[in-house]
Structure 1
Amino acid sequence: MMLTTLGLMSGTSLDGVDVAMIETDGKRVQRFGPSGYRPYTERERSLLRQALTEAVNLPQRDARPGILREAEQAVTIAHAEAVAIFVAQNRISFEDIDIVGFHGQTVLHRPEKRLTVQIGDAAALAKAIHIPVMHDFRAADVAAGGQGAPFVPVYHRALAQSLGRDGPIVVVNIGGISNITYIDGNDTLIACDTGPGNALLDDFMFRTMHQPFDREGRLAAQGVADEAWVTRALELPFFTLPPPKSLDRNDFAALKLGPMQPADGAATLTAFTTTAIARIVPLLPKPPKSWIVCGGGARNLTMIRMLREQLAPATVEAAETLGWSSDAIEAQAFGFLAARGLKGLPLSYPATTGVPMPMTGGVIARP
């Protein structure tokens, strides 16, 4: 049975709430619906940055001391507003939506301690929007010993299979962190984080240029990457680990650029992101034939150019060129995962998160 699902995603880049509707049975996508976006305000972003700092010392996953409680309320209200705006703009009735997939805002991801924390009050959200809300997608996986990330691979597989092209195909999502899904027919689904996405670059742009990101990679295009710095950064043990593996954006907090011009700094961090992605190729069963780039990085032309140089002879194309929505893909995925969760289908697998067996997950909050 096809369900109309609404996926809500707020990523590590702290930019805002993505909303996307799809029709799916949890195995294939019948139709893409509209998508939308509700940016975080400066105050909300500031709250979330403080929450990320304070979350490092969280004693348990449901604790919300101090600023975390305030941040959770802000996240919940932002998501409720995002749904209300989306429904009004697209003239959709709340009753037309069967289930909402609510990821929440990750403030701590420490799978080695069997701990992952996404803030956002699903019960309050369900009451506000009068639709059942599936949430807490990652907890069961992490509790079972999985990495709890990435969780979009099953959706990438559904999209890639609709292309009807020879594999292996890799979908690389460049959000705050970069992650890949390696798809080779029905049987092989491998996924992992590869390293930084836009988080380090965005933080650098905010700090040095007072801009939220490097639009189209224009600043990086004017600079020269410090290859020696990139090589040293890639000596972190993470980069030689086989998949599955995952990261927290704070894992790179200790990496500091030396004194350099802003353009060179942007070029260096862009090169770090793309070289880290290319580093995964020897750790995969076969060299991929094609790479499909989604997430914010797909709009960074310098990032795409560097990826093409480093991944040749494989093709590299932005998801948009295939009719996919780069902006909406993660939100769509959580709508897809909500449908799978409702039907008891696996959300994660041994080769995507390292969990011992295929795991379903998600918890339903009813209005």
Structure 2
Amino acid sequence: MSDQEIYKVIGLMSGTSGDGLDIVFCEFEKKDRWNFTIIDADTVPFPKKLGKKLKKSHLLNGQKLSLLDVEFGSWSGDQVKYFLTKKSHSAQAVASHGHTVFHQPSKKLSLQIGNGWALHQSSGLPVINDFRMLDVQLGGQGAPLVPIGDQYLFGEYDYCINLGGIANISMDFDGKRIAFDICPFNLLLNHFAEICGKTFDKNGKLARKGKILPKVLKALNKLPFYKKEGAKSLGREDLEDYLKILELSGEFKPENILHTLVVHYVEQINAVLQPIPGKKPTILITGGGAYNAFFMEMLQTELTENFEFIAPNNTLINFKEALLFAFLGVLRIRGEVNCLASVTGASRDNCGGTVYGL
């Protein structure tokens, strides 16, 4: 266990949206409480061929997936080395989320590729990755993982919502930190934007042009995932249930699907937020979805009367998840809990992450 008080660490996040690799260089200091500073950050788009392989990784055979694991780890390490050299920074370690291929906690499986040894060799730094698997083996969902970071670094907010490939929420409840995935987000929005020839729906312009499909909305809201209570998470595999409804709706116009999805997301987020007696609860919203102007307008129209929205700076919107994985890496180095059973449903709190070269 480390008794060090200051850590300078790189955090890497490759989200389920498949946009690119988020790199954040941050400093953490332990005093009476944890403090952080984001010193530098960047997003590196995936090379075209690598991006295509990552998006199709769940369809690859064993050998090709293993080769991609090494390729992605090596490429990620090269980006870290270039980033640090270009910015004249020196880091102690790299904490990497990896790229999720399979997430099936009911089968005790969660696979994120980005080989740790390859990343270690190409970056020249110690690496911590594979943060989910221990929790999954302990009967947990292995997700969301960032709530312990929300608790230590963003505890002043009542609700922390991240809008990435999946929308998830973190909060305190009866003295414990709880969190869960709310609904899909950019994974589905990007899918239908691509049908319109766009990589994503910038500012929600396509969705704004569409109209609501009441029968489709009703079917989405009835999906079994929303009836689950307690720890729960979504993976790419779960999107089939959504696509069956959306693609077989008989009204397949992407703008209408996008509009209906936005309304669906707003309704599901509204359903999980609870008023707090005697105050107007604060909501911190981060992730790429925070730039979807149409969605944010709809959400604020629905919630502003009872909740206060906190507008973080763009750096925090873009890099909060990478920052929090860097923090998970620091806790792993210190041998301290970095995954909460109250969040994931595991049999106990745990300290996840495999360490390479430390």
TM-score (norm 2): 0.90
Letter in 2 for 1:227: P
Taking the aligned partners of 1:203 and 1:45, their CA distance within structure 2 comes to: 15
Equivalent residue number for residue 202 of structure 2: 215
Q: State the secondary structure of the residue aligned to 1:341.
A: helix
> Map of 1:183-202 to 2, 5 A cutoff?
183=172, 187-202=175-190
1:290 to 276, 282, 290: 282
1:232 to 215, 219, 225: 219
Equivalent residue number for residue 245 of structure 1: 232
2:71 to 68, 71, 74: 74
Letter in 2 for 1:347: N
Q: State the secondary structure of the residue aligned to 2:180.
A: strand
Letter in 1 for 2:77: A
Letter in 2 for 1:178: A
1:175 matches 2:181: no
Q: State the secondary structure of the residue aligned to 1:327.
A: helix
1:21 to 22, 25, 49: 25
Taking the aligned partners of 1:38 and 1:155, their CA distance within structure 2 comes to: 24
Contact 1:108/1:248, CA 8 A, preserved across alignment = yes
Deviation at 1:319, TM superposition (A): 4.6
Contact 2:169/2:182, CA 8 A, preserved across alignment = yes
Contact 1:8/1:334, CA 8 A, preserved across alignment = yes
**Where does structure 2 lack aligned partners over 5 or more consecutive residues?**
none
Deviation at 1:276, TM superposition (A): 2.1
Contact 1:47/1:67, CA 8 A, preserved across alignment = no
What is the percent sequence identity of the aligned residues? 29
Letter in 2 for 1:210: G
Equivalent residue number for residue 110 of structure 2: 116
Contact 1:107/1:119, CA 8 A, preserved across alignment = yes
Contact 2:282/2:310, CA 8 A, preserved across alignment = no
Relative to 1, partners in 2 of residues 1:288 and 1:157: Cα closer, same or farther, differing over 3 Å? farther
Taking the aligned partners of 1:176 and 1:253, their CA distance within structure 2 comes to: 15
Equivalent residue number for residue 93 of structure 2: 99
Contact 2:284/2:312, CA 8 A, preserved across alignment = no
Contact 1:107/1:118, CA 8 A, preserved across alignment = yes
Contact 1:304/1:316, CA 8 A, preserved across alignment = no
Deviation at 1:32, TM superposition (A): 1.9
The number of residues matched between the two structures is 346
**Where does structure 1 lack aligned partners over 5 or more consecutive residues?**
55-63
Relative to 1, partners in 2 of residues 1:129 and 1:82: Cα closer, same or farther, differing over 3 Å? same
Q: State the secondary structure of the residue aligned to 2:318.
A: coil
RMSD value, Cα: 2.3
> Map of 1:327-338 to 2, 5 A cutoff?
327-338=318-329
Contact 2:165/2:187, CA 8 A, preserved across alignment = yes
Taking the aligned partners of 1:40 and 1:273, their CA distance within structure 2 comes to: 28
Contact 1:291/1:314, CA 8 A, preserved across alignment = no
Relative to 1, partners in 2 of residues 1:200 and 1:314: Cα closer, same or farther, differing over 3 Å? same
Contact 2:102/2:236, CA 8 A, preserved across alignment = no
> Map of 1:1-367 to 2, 5 A cutoff?
1-25=5-29, 28-54=34-60, 65-92=62-89, 96-161=90-155, 163=156, 169-183=158-172, 187-206=175-194, 208-254=195-241, 255=243, 256-257=245-246, 258=249, 259-281=251-273, 289-315=281-307, 317=309, 319-321=311-313, 325-366=316-357
Deviation at 1:355, TM superposition (A): 1.2
Taking the aligned partners of 2:230 and 2:289, their CA distance within structure 1 comes to: 22
Letter in 2 for 1:90: K
Letter in 1 for 2:144: P
Relative to 1, partners in 2 of residues 1:191 and 1:288: Cα closer, same or farther, differing over 3 Å? farther
Letter in 2 for 1:247: L
Contact 1:9/1:18, CA 8 A, preserved across alignment = yes
Letter in 1 for 2:27: E
Taking the aligned partners of 2:190 and 2:88, their CA distance within structure 1 comes to: 35
Deviation at 1:339, TM superposition (A): 0.3
Relative to 1, partners in 2 of residues 1:348 and 1:221: Cα closer, same or farther, differing over 3 Å? same
Contact 2:75/2:119, CA 8 A, preserved across alignment = no
Q: State the secondary structure of the residue aligned to 2:17.
A: coil
Deviation at 1:159, TM superposition (A): 3.0
Q: Deviations over 1:149-205 (max 9, x none)?
A: 0001111223323x4xxx6x11110100111011369x3311000110110010111
